[in-house]
Amino acid sequence: MKKIFLAIAIILLNFTFLKAQTIDDSACWKYFEITKNLKKNLPLEKKAWNAFLSDRAIQVYLKDQGVDSAYIERYRQIMEIVYMPKNDRILKQQLKDQNKYWWTYIVNEYKNHEDEMKKYLIDLQKNTDSYFETAYSFAYGMLPKTYHKQAPDYKVSIIPIHNDAHIENEWMVFTLMAAYFSDLNKYGVLAGHEFHHVLRPRLVFEAEDHDKVIISLLHRILNEGTADLIDKRYEGEDASNLLEFQRGYPESFIEEGEKIIRNIDSILSIDDLDFSKLTINKLIDTWNTSGHIPGYYMASVIEKNGLKNEVINHIEDPFEFVYLYDKASKRDKEAYKLSEKTLAIIHDVDIKYRNKGQIYLYRN
């Protein structure tokens, strides 16, 4: 009998091991080898730089960014300016104009925090299970209990360039700068935001060309607005552990979000609206068209007015998100109220597609 229990225990242990989620940070340690040589005034040869960039996770991220060879070469040159002591005079001059030399500033922050980032990666590998447990708990905060699952098949990588997080084809890529500072500020919340994208059910249907822009708009707003309720609350102006440019999102999203909602409403309220002329860029008329800014504004109004649980209960439904915002805004003197014409358009699209839709779920 003891042998049987031992065999079962071994099988369960093996199963757990196979399903354990891991973080690939190998590109970061290759990066630190590069920076070690640069600090000795050894130039970064193009061949070595291209070999570093051939890392699959880096390629996934750069492809999404749409960068070209000229951009890659410029980044290599910036690495030499930042890390090679012989270029200190040039570096100091460029850092005086952060806006003009933005990537010099970013790479310089990698240099300034290299030791802390190394320790962060070491500690992260020692505590991977607890990290994922914390991340999933944040994701669950905006999901019905039915969807409190995990995505162990997702590859998770940390790459040492830029400040971003990205998901594509069951691959989650965090830049080291984004992961380090976010986790320093609120451990696990950035991954929680991304895992919410993975685990959130979606109402999926094929839209006619006439309606595709409207449908895309609604999906973007719901997708980012609900996920932003997880992490943006920790990224305010008072988030002293973040770099200056990484904080202030909730305040700016609220301020700009009302303007974007007003713009969307004014366009959709035009008499004899030509749907074929609509574009996402016209509707979300700002630097970020992914849905973060109007989505967070709407989600915040909904939460502020006591309807957050209703959003969670309809987390897959982009139409219900608009209806809940309309309901919440009518309780709020300061919130922007959508016009009847815009609401009628959303309702018409809802009636047209809801019954054709299917719920898409991540299956592990």
Give pLDDT tens digits for 103-120.
Answer: 999 999 999 999 999 999
% residues pLDDT > 70 (the chain): 95
- Listed in sequence order, the DSSP H helices in 22-127 are 26-38, 46-53, 56-65, 69-83, 88-94, 102-112, 114-126
Q: What is the mean pLDDT of the chain?
A: 94
Angle between helices 46-53 and 56-65 (to 10 degrees): 90
Quickly state the pLDDT bin for 364 (edges 50, 70, 90).
Answer: low
Contact between 225 and 295 (Cβ < 8 Å): yes
Rounded distance, CA 138 to CA 277, Å? 39
Rounded distance, CA 78 to CA 105, Å? 10
Give Cβ neighbours of residue 169 (< 8 Å, ≥ 6 apart): 60
Tell me what pLDDT residue 20 has: 82
Rounded distance, CA 184 to CA 120, Å? 9
% residues pLDDT > 90 (the chain): 91
Give Cβ neighbours of residue 130 (< 8 Å, ≥ 6 apart): none
Contact between 60 and 93 (Cβ < 8 Å): no
Rounded distance, CA 241 to CA 120, Å? 14
Q: Is the dihedral of CA 155, 156, 160, 161 positive or negative?
A: positive
Q: What is the dihedral of CA 226, 302, 291, 317, to 10 degrees?
A: 60
- Per residue in 117-171, pLDDT (tens digit) is 999 999 999 999 999 999 999 999 999 999 999 999 999 999 999 999 999 888 9
- Per residue in 300-331, pLDDT (tens digit) is 999 999 999 999 999 999 999 999 999 999 99
238 CB burial (10 A radius; 0-12, 13-18, 19+) = exposed
Domains of the chain, residue spans: 23-97+105-112, 118-199, 204-360
- State which amino acid sits at residue 187: Y
- Per residue in 247-273, pLDDT (tens digit) is 999 999 999 999 999 999 999 999 999
CB atoms within 10 A of CB 17: 8
Q: Is the dihedral of CA 174, 118, 242, 71 positive or negative?
A: negative
- The tokens describing 35, both together, are 């920076």
- The tokens describing 36, both together, are 């070690």
What's the average model confidence in pLDDT over 50-60? 95
Tell me what pLDDT residue 362 has: 85
Poorest-confidence range of 18-32, 92-106, 183-197, 312-326? 18-32
pLDDT at 25 over 60: yes
Letter string b/e over residues 26-53, b meaning 16 or more CB atoms within 10 A of that residue's CB: ebbeebeebbeebeeeeebeeebbeebb
pLDDT at 221 over 90: yes
